[in-house]
A and B are shown apart, each in its own frame.
Chain A
Amino acid sequence: MDRRTHDRYVERAMWPIGRGDRNFWIAVVALSLLVGAGLYAWVYQVQRGLWVTGLNQRVSWGFYIINCVFFIGISYGGAMTSAILRLTNAKWRAPLTRLAEATAVAALLVGAVYPIIDLGRPDRFLNILLHPQVGSPVVWDVVAISTYMVASLVFLYLPLIPDLATTGASMRGGPLKRLYGILSLGWRGTPGQEASLQRGIGVMAVLIIPLAVSVHSVLAWLFAVTARGGWHSTIFAPLFVLAAMLSGVAAVILVVAAFRRVYGLAEFITAKHFRYLSYLMIALGVAYLYFMVSEYLTEGYLADETTAPLLEAIFVGSYAPAFWSFTTIGLIFPLVLAAWPGRFVIARACTASALVIAGMWLKRFLIVVPGMAEPAMPWDWGRYAPTWVEITITIGSAAAIPLILIIFFRFFPVMSVHEMEEVEGPPQPRGVVLTPVYAEGAGE
C-alpha cells in the first residue's frame, strides 16, 4: 500500500472521531426517542406487572424470550464473523472486523437485558446468584451470557488498543486524549507488545467461538429440556447456533453497508467484501435449511401426539402464513438473491440480509409461541397477541443497537488501522504503487 492510500485509510477511519455533524445528531435524537419510548414502556410494565403484556396462563413466554434469542443470536454472528476471518487469516478483513465486533457487543448489551425484562419479579434477579440451582437452564444462561459478555468486550477491546494510541497521539489535548492514553495501556508498538497483542487476539478469536456456541446452545436447551412437542428436540442446540450465525452475518452486512455509506468508506469496503460476506451467509442459510428440514421431517414423519398438532398448526393451521413467509421470503428467496451472479452486489446483499433478519425473528416466534400455545393438556389451544408495551420495548431495543454503534464510532476508529498496517505492511514511499490486498478485485 502506498503512503497516499495509507493516509487516506487512516483519515477515513478517524475523521468522525469527536465530531458531531448534523446527520449524526439527527440520527442520535431519532434513535434516542425510540429507545426512550422503549424505556418508558419498560418502566410502565415494572410499575404495574406483567399483565400489561399479552402473556397469559397458556402462553407465558412471548416477545421477550423471542427477542432475547434473536438479539443474542445477532451478537453471536458478529463475533463469529470476526473470529472466522481472523482465524482463516482472511486478508480482506481489516476494514470489517471492528464493525463486526462492535455489532456483537451492541446486540449482546440489548439481548442480555431481555431475560430481566421478562421476569415477573425483576427486583429479585440477584436470587439467581444468591440461590442458584445449577441444574436449571436459566442458571446456565446467566453464566453463559455473562461470560460471553466479558469475552466479547475483550474481543472488541484488544484489537482497539493500538488504534487508541494512534488516536490519542493525533490529538492536541483535552479529556479525550487523556482517556485514550489510559485506555491504550501505554501502547508504543514495540515488538514485545506486538507479540503479546497478537497472542491475546489469537486466543480470544479461538475462545470466542466455543463461548458463543455455548451461549446459544444453552438458550436452545431452555426449550429443549422440556417435554413440549416441537421443543424437545436433540437438534435444537446446533439449530439455534446456526440461526444465530445466519442472522448475525446478515446484521454485519447491514451494519457494514450503513457505515460504508455514511462514513464514506466505499474505497476501502468494496463489492468484494459484500460478496464474501454473502457467501458466508448463503452457506449458513443452506445449512440452516438442511437442519430445519431434518428436524421437521423426522418429527413430522412419526407425528406423535405432541408434535403432530403442533406441526399441523405450523404447516397448514393458524401459524402457516408466518411459517411459509419465513421459509420463502425470509430464507430461500434471500439466499437465491444473494447467490445470483451479476451486478448490484451490495444492494442485493443488503436486501437479502434485511429479509434474513426479519425471517429469523419470525422463526424464533414460530419456535416460542406455537410451542407454548399448544396445550399441555391437549384440549385448549392458547392464544397470544402482544400489547403496545411489548411492541414498544421491542422497537426501542432494536433502535438501541444502531444508537450504541453510532455513538461508539464517534469515539473509536470505525476501521482498524493497526490491522490494516499489519496485513498491508508498512506504507511504501510515494511512487511505489502496489495494489492494496483488501482492494483486490475492487473494480467489480
Chain B
Amino acid sequence: MAGPFTRRQLLGTLGTVGGTALAAGFVPMAFPEALAADTNKTQRQWAMVIDLRRCDGCKACTEACQETHHLPANFEWIKVFEVKDKHGAAYFMPRPCFQCENAPCLRVCPVAATYKDGEGVVLVDQERCIGCRMCMAACPYGARYFNYVEPPAYANPFGKATPQFPVPQQQGTVGKCMFCVHRTDEGQLPACVEACGMGAIYIGDLIEDVATNGEETVRLSTFLKENDAFRYKEDLGTGPRVWYIAGHGQLLEQ
C-alpha cells in the first residue's frame, strides 16, 4: 500500500491490538483465584469451630493474636462480642475472619490485593493494597481493619512481611485474621486456639475431616452435626469457613 493508513484500516488495527491486549490482560485479572491457587498446597482446607458453650469472654484469644501480629489494642482480628439476647442473658461470641468460600471482600478489591490461597484462607497482599477500603464496606462481618496509623516497628523473622505473616502491618492498607497460616504451615496451632484456656476454639481441616483445640481432637463433620453447628449469616451465601456451636439458645435467635 502506497499511502498512509486509511481511517478504517487504522481503527481495525487498533481494535485487533486492543482486543488482544484486553483478552490477554483482563481474563486472569477477572479471576484472581485462578492465578492465586497454589496447586502444590491443596492438601488442607482450613476451617474453624468456635464452641460458644465454653467461651467465657476472657479475650485471651484477642490478646494472643495481637501479640503474635504486633497489633495495637483496637485491632481485634479476632474480636469477642458480648451479646445480650432478648431475655437479658449474655453470652460471648468471638469473631475471627470467616475465610468465606465466596468472599465478598475478594471480589470487590480493585487491584486483586486480596486473594485466596490454595487452602481456603483469604490473604491480603499489603504491598499491592491501595487502601480504598472497599473490602471493609463489603465484608458482612466487619472482620477487616484499616491501618490508619503507622504500626509499631518490628523486625520480621521471615525477613520481610508476607501475606501469610504481614508483620509489621503497612500504614494505609487493610489487614485481617488469616488463621495464622505462618503457624499452621509449621504444624503449630493458630495463636488464638493455643491461647484459649477454655478450649473453645478448634482449628480443623475439611479434607482430613478433623479439628483440634489443642487438647482434644474430633472428627469435624460428626462434631458439627452432633452439636447442631451453625455459620453466622449463612443466608448471605458467603460460605463461611467458621462454624459456631450454640450454648445459650443462640440458635433460636438466629
Chain A residues within 8 Å of B, Cβ to Cβ: 49-51, 55-58, 60-61, 115, 118-122, 124-125, 127-128, 130-139, 142, 222-223, 225-228, 372, 375-377, 379-380
Contacts and interface: CB of A to CB of B under 8 A. Distances in A.
A120 B147 contact: yes
Contacts, number: 134
B11 interface: no
Contacts of B140: 226-228, 376
Contacts of B130: 119-122, 124-125, 127-128
Interface in B75-111: 79, 81-83, 93, 95, 104, 107-111
A118 B110 CA distance: 14
A115 B133 CA distance: 11
B177 to A, nearest CB: 14
Contact of A132 (B26, B108, B148, B236): B26
Contacts of A51: 148-149
A50 B170 CA distance: 13
B104 A120 contact: no
A136 B134 contact: yes
B146 interface: yes
Interface in B32-51: 32
Contacts of B149: 49, 51
B132 A120 contact: yes
Nearest to A132: B29
Interface string B147-180: 1111000000000000000000001111000000
Contacts of B134: 136-138, 222
15 contacts: A57-B142, A120-B129, A120-B146, A120-B147, A120-B148, A127-B110, A131-B111, A133-B32, A135-B107, A136-B108, A223-B137, A226-B137, A228-B137, A228-B140, A376-B139
B146 A57 contact: yes
Contacts of A380: 81
A134 B25 CA distance: 10
Interface of B: 26, 29-30, 32, 74, 79, 81-83, 93, 95, 104, 107-113, 128-134, 136-142, 145-150, 171-174, 236
Given A128-B111, A133-B111, A137-B108, A49 B171 contact: yes
A223 B113 CA distance: 20
B81 A379 contact: yes
Contact of B141 (A118, A122, A133, A377): A377
A379 B109 CA distance: 26
Most buried by B among A49, A377, A379: A377
A134 B131 contact: no
A60 B236 CA distance: 22
Most buried by B among A122, A375, A376, A379: A376
Contact of B109 (A49, A57, A133, A226): A133
A55 B131 CA distance: 13
Most buried by A among B132, B147, B174: B132
Nearest to B133: A60
B104 A227 contact: yes
A56 B147 CA distance: 9
A133 B236 contact: no
Most buried by A among B104, B136, B148: B148
A118 B128 CA distance: 16
Contacts of A227: 104, 138, 140, 236
Contact of A135 (B30, B79, B129, B147): B30
B34 to A, nearest CB: 12
Nearest to B147: A120
Nearest to A130: B111
Contact of B104 (A115, A132, A226, A372): A226
Nearest to A51: B148
A222 B95 CA distance: 26
Contact of A131 (B29, B74, B148): B29
B30 A119 contact: no
